[in-house]
């Protein structure tokens, strides 16, 4: 299973024209927090995922989109 949270956070952030620092401020965190999410070094907890979905105006499903390793 390939989770695309990191890619999606970066994509949605850029679509809104936000810098990492601006997004971090909305999450009451530091720029390094967003950088770590986008680079896959850490994964947001469920509360942060909900806040990110709200900021990006997307569903949680859209934010945490994943691909199965199994071929159909």
- Return the pLDDT at 58: 95
Q: Which domain holds residue 43?
A: 2-67
- Domains contained in the chain, number: 1
Residue 57 Rama label (left phi>0; alpha psi -120 to 50; beta): left
In a domain, 61, yes or no: yes
Q: At 63, which CATH number?
A: 1.10.260.40
What does each of the 72 residues of the chain score in pLDDT, given as a tens digit?
Answer: 457 899 999 999 999 999 999 999 999 999 999 999 999 999 999 999 999 999 999 999 999 986 666 655
pLDDT at 71: 56
Report the C-alpha gap between 26 and 64 in whole angstroms: 19
Does residue 72 lie in a domain region? no
pLDDT score recorded for residue 44 = 94
Does 28 reside within a domain?
Answer: yes
The answer to whether the beta carbons of residues 62 and 15 sit under 8 Å apart is no
pLDDT at residue number 1: 44
pLDDT for the residue 65:
82
């Amino acid at each position: 299973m390939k989770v695309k949270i990191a890619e999606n956070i970066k994509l949605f952030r850029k679509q809104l024209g936000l810098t990492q620092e601006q997004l971090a401020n909305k999450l009451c965190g530091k720029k390094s927090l967003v950088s770590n999410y986008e680079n896959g070094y850490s994964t947001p907890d469920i509360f942060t995922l909900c806040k990110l979905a709200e900021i990006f105006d997307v569903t949680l499903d859209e934010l945490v989109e994943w691909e199965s390793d199994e071929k159909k």
